[in-house]
Amino acid sequence: MSANHHYPTDLTEEQWDVLHCLLPPRAWRPGGRGRPPSDVRRIIDGILYLNKTGCQWRMIPPTFGNWSAIYGYFKHWQDAMMTQTLYAGHDVQSITHTPQCSPNMLVGERRAL
């Protein structure tokens, strides 16, 4: 994946700092069974791109990863009620830096989705 592809829907560093703390820990460990997990930040960027553009899952640009992997993460997070957290974290206008990760890090007014 090239780091040169940036979309207006991509997470900022501040948004990523908030969201990565709120995501469930990865179950896969190096040397463990199965395929290594995808880059979760690019997965979230792909979900936000789809949400903003309204494109079909199969039309997500490959710079975000395989569409089926993006959909798989989305479905898993939707079942775990995580999608509201992802969208809320993407709409943060101002963030207060705190040493520990908590939902209280989301400070400021939220824009309409």
pLDDT in tens, 50-69: 999 999 999 999 999 999 99
Model pLDDT, residue 38: 81
Question: Predicted confidence band at 35 (pLDDT cuts at 50, 70, 90)?
Answer: confident
- CA–CA gap between residue 47 and residue 83 (Å, rounded): 10
Structure tokens at 98: 């705190």
Q: How much of the chain is helix, strand and coil, in % rounded to 5?
A: 50, 10, 45
Looking at per-residue confidence, does 38 or 44 come out higher?
A: 44
Angle 55-60-61 (CA atoms, 0-180°, nearest 5)? Answer: 130
- Give the lowest-confidence range in 4-18, 20-34, 55-69, 96-110: 96-110
Average pLDDT over residues 41-56: 93
